[in-house]
Structure formats: structure tokens, C-alpha cells
Amino acid sequence: MMFPMKPIYRFGYLALCALVALSALQGCGEDDWGPAVDPDYGKPILEAPPSAGKADNMDGIAGPTAATEGAATEVWAVTNQWEDRYTDAAVQEGIAWGFDSGLDWDEKYALWVQSLERIPGERYGETFELTTPWGARLKAPALECAEASVFLRVTFASWYGLPFYISAWAPEGNIHFGHFGVWTDKEPHYKFSNYRDRYPDYSYLSLAEAQANWPTDARLARRSLGANKDDLNEWLGPEAYAGAYFDQIFLNKRVGHFLMVVLTFTGSVHLASTDNTFNLTAPAVRAGDTLLERWQKKGIGHTLVVKHVSPIAGTSQLEAELVSGSMPRRQPKWESAASSQQSFLSYSAGGPGENADGEAYVTLGGGIKRWRIAKIINGRWRNVVPESDRENFIPRHNTDALAARLEIFKEILGTLTPEEKIEVLQQQIQSKRQHLRQFPASCSARISRESAFDELYELAEDEFGWSTHEVDQMYRVIEDYIFAELEYQSSRTCCWNSTTVDMYHIIMDLNEGYTYDSETGTCREPLVFKMVDGGYKVFSDHASTMGLSHAWVEWSADEPCPQEFSVTTDTEVVHTRASYCEAFSSDSP
């Protein structure tokens, strides 16, 4: 069963993927250039290349001139081509394939992503372990959702000398971020670095030399993606942000510095652009592909990377699993096959139906995508559909074929039983609770949790005849009431990304026993964690009584926050659920 997305859910996902306050290039090391902070993405993201009226060409649009090769702007040199199978380099054994495999590099990319092993996440859930050509194994880094897809592709392309670029757009024209640096259609963009001149490359080291004494770049190691530094990889050290992680996986330090730029200026809107990716037929799905959920033409969406695809023994069906980052940034979370199936079948994944503005989902750029590959054609770089994938290509104007993919996925991924659907929704709800335990102000997690409950209400009524009240009695916990859903644009708590797990414990401790009034012997509703009269006095005061004043973080606008100047008391969403005292009365099951 598929469920339409509520309008409030559409907005709530804004924080899920990329809401973080950021100056034009804070922490990126480039000149101060770029658009103003985008209110959806929370960073100075560029627009996607204009595509209205253009055909979705398998050979792509003309990109920068081939004169990029060997220029001072170059990040890494191109030594291989994606479609190579039998060159001296292509036949060598790699990190996820054997000698003389007969595979091209795009197929090897899929094998590498598939091979990354499942490990426990640092905070909750499961993630993957990154493997490098030098034998290193590192836990996945903290990323937002679109960043995970771009990070994996850039990392692999740079390791193996493969051409890569992703196109964006600014009022002065197209801007291309790639192995050649940052270029317009004709020349280097004057505001970005000459990477060859500015940053070191230690790729000349042998495997033994690199393993014995891994070189480091102090400038890269201290850099952070976000102004509020939510890209901390605490398991690497107390100040180990994205730059420190990149310093660990690239001998060519230019790639790490380049990633700080490309992840800042691009997002899901660029992955939705058919200049960078192409729409893929459902049966062709494999690891490394990207599933996009889009509920608006411009602005934020949700990005999931296909992590694992395998046939189900004795059937013609597939099992597919997804990983995704989030905001505040986190390690990409590895979803179960059942939970992943819900994403593949979502209306916003390029399916039938319309969003809250009456726009057909299938026209918004969602669905399963594969990266185009960069090639030089007639002296210009172009992102093209590989010859081996042309039968798997669906042009964006073929909306019937695009929308039909959801029904095909329903067939090839199997159908969940009602009980399995409930289990998936429970997992999604629990995941959002776990996120709130780390970031108790997160409005996106509250909204996503309630959206999952809305699906659970509908499923329970359709399949089992359960009322909303009965569902709440069976599946609600007190945290759902303490961290109640707030109106995003009317609540200052929703701009606050720097709350902590210590604050969660303070909030929960205050509510411990509060719901029972010993004098009257009656139930009281929990104290909702929200701003009241311009602050959080009842909670900060309790922190003092616990001797934890130092652990209470003061409110700050950690993302664009227009309500900062008009709101002093947050607004709760009008709830359809049972109240706490109703759900947890003595006659509750």
C-alpha cells in the first residue's frame, strides 16, 4: 500500500536532508563566493541547469572544453575511461573484483558499493564500512542525504583516475564541478582554486610507502562542511570533521578539498537533473544507483543510495536495501529490505499522484537514477548514458514509463504482508525516536515520526479495523508526547540543531513522575519540549537542580530561521492522536 504525502511532511523533510546555517563557503577554503544561503537547503546551493523544453539526450549537453585536462585547476588526472574493460589498468584486480574480470568501471563501482560491509552505527542503527585501495577500513562518515551519493561517486572516480563532473547553474551560466576543478562552459571559474598549485598530491607513493607512513594535510584535516559542525566523526577524534575523514582516505589531498566545495554547492536537485543522472528502468537497479524522493520541482528532496541488490533464491524477485544520510548530518543509515521497499514504492519516488500543489510527482525528478559518465565528444566534455545502459534509459518526457516503475518494483521486490508493513512502520518510528534522543529539538524527526504513524493508522484501520485510539494504546510511548510535532514555520525550536543527548536526559528526567499528580491521584499530560515565552526555562531550571547547568545548550538559529523575530512560543500541530492520559489510562492494553 502506498500513501500520499501530507503537505506538512513535505516541508518537514527540509530539515531532514540539508538544513544547516552556512555562510557562502565557510570551512571550504575558497574565496567568499556563491548565492545566499538557500532557505530549503540551508547552504549556498546553486540551481540545477535549466532543462525546460530540452530533450533528455543520451549524449547529454555540451559541458566544459577538453582544455581542462592538465590545467592548473585539475583535481585529479584522467587515466581511465568508465567503459574500459580490457586495458592494462582495467584487467587488474581491485578492491571488489578479480583479475581480468571483463567488467567496465561503472560495473566495478556497483561491486564496490555492494561490497561495503554492514557495521553498527556510531549513534544508532547500522551503516557501512568504507574500504580503500590501500587496505584501510573506516566507518562511514557523517553526511547529509545527497552528499552520500556524491561522496561515493567522487571517491571512486578519483581513486581510479576516472572522469567525473556534476553540473549546476548560476545566473552567469553553467558551472561544472569535476576532476578538472570548477569550470564554466568555456574556462575556469575565476573564484575557485587552482588545485594543482594549492594542494598536495601524494599519489606517487607506493602501496607499501603509503601504508607505512600515510601523509596528512593539516589544512584539510581541520576543515568542516557545516558552520554548526554537524559533520563530526567523533570516532576519529574530538575535532575530526569531514576534512579529517577525507585526509584519511585520499593520498591526493586535492580531492578532499574539492569535496568540501562540491558537497557545499550541490544537492538533490542536481541529482534529479537529467544532465547529471538518467532515469533507469526498474529491473536494471543495482548497487550504487540513487533513489530520489521529490515532492517539489525546486528545492530539497530526500536521497537514498542503493546499497545492496541480490536475487531472492527460487524466485524471479530481488531484495534491495538502501542507505541514506540526513540532517543534522549522520552516518548513512542502512535500511532493511522491507523498509527500503517502502521508499521504492513511495509516490514521491516518481510515481503516480500529485503533490500538495497539484503537480504530478512523476514530473518532479524523483525515482531510480544512475550516474551518467563523462566523455570527451568533439572537444567538449559531456555526461552521457553509457552504451551498455541505453536499453535501460527512460527519457524524462516518457512519464507513463516513469510512473509505471512503481508497479514494476512492487512486482520484482515482492509484496509485504500487513504484519510486515506494520513492522516496517514501527522501525521507521523507532528510528525517528532514536534521532530525537540525539537531537531532541529536531522537528523533522518529529514530523517524520508522525507521518509514519499516519500510515500506521490507515493501514491498521484498513487491514485490522483498529481505531486510532487503539493504535496509540499499542504503539505510542511517552517520548512521542514530550517531543510532540510542532508547526515548522511557527516554532523556533525547529531552527535549533545543536541540542544534545545530555539535554534529552534532562528533559526526560523532568518528566519522570510528572504525569501522575499525587495530590489529586489523576494523570497529567507530559511537559512538551518546546519554546514558551521566548525560552525553555522549566527545562534549564531542572538542569540546574540536577547539577547539569553546563550541559544545557542555549537556543541558537542553526539554520535559516525567519520565525526568530516573530515567535516566542512554539505552535504544536493539531493532534489527531489520543492524548497521553487517554492512551495510558489504566484500562490500556
Tens digits of residue pLDDT in 484-513: 999 988 999 999 988 999 999 999 999 998
- 260 pLDDT tier (thresholds 50, 70, 90): very high
How far is the C-alpha of 333 from the C-alpha of 537, rounded, in Å? 34
pLDDT at residue 35 in the model: 63
pLDDT at residue 38 in the model: 63
Beta bridge partners of 293: 302
Residue 87 DSSP code: S
pLDDT at residue 29 in the model: 44
pLDDT at 23 over 70: no
pLDDT at residue 37 in the model: 64
Q: How far is CA 23 from CA 174, 299, 312, 377, in A?
A: 22, 18, 48, 37
What would the pLDDT profile of 47-81 be if each residue is shown by its tens digit? 888 764 456 788 888 889 887 777 899 999 999 99
H or E segment to which residue 165 belongs: strand 165-170
pLDDT at 380 over 90: yes
pLDDT at residue 554 in the model: 95
Q: At what angle do helices 7-18 and 145-159 cross, to 10 degrees?
A: 40
pLDDT at residue 588 in the model: 43
What's the pTM? 0.77
pLDDT at residue 132 in the model: 95
pLDDT at residue 257 in the model: 96
Note whether 280 and 402 are within 8 A (CB): no
What would the pLDDT profile of 459-479 be if each residue is shown by its tens digit? 999 999 999 999 999 999 999
Query: Is the bond preceding residue 328 a cis peptide, omega within 30 degrees?
Result: yes
pLDDT at residue 24 in the model: 33
Mean pLDDT of the chain: 88
- 414 pLDDT tier (thresholds 50, 70, 90): confident
C-alpha cell at 147: 552528499
Find all residues with CB under 8 Å of 41, minimum gap 6, and list them.
17, 18, 19, 267, 299, 300
How far is the C-alpha of 220 from the C-alpha of 243, rounded, in Å? 5
pLDDT at residue 3 in the model: 33
Range 42-47 average pLDDT:
74
- 227 pLDDT tier (thresholds 50, 70, 90): confident
How far is the C-alpha of 359 from the C-alpha of 24, rounded, in Å? 31
φ, ψ (nearest 5 deg) of residue 454: -60, -40
pLDDT at residue 11 in the model: 32
Note whether 203 and 252 are within 8 A (CB): yes
Rounded to a whole number of angstroms, the CA Rg of the chain reads: 24
What would the pLDDT profile of 146-199 be if each residue is shown by its tens digit? 999 999 999 999 999 999 999 998 888 899 999 999 999 989 998 887 999 999
pLDDT at residue 69 in the model: 77
Task: Please give the angle made by the CA atoms of 405, 407 and 408, to the nearest 5 degrees.
Answer: 60
Residue 370 vs residue 497, higher pLDDT: 370
Range 517-545 average pLDDT:
94
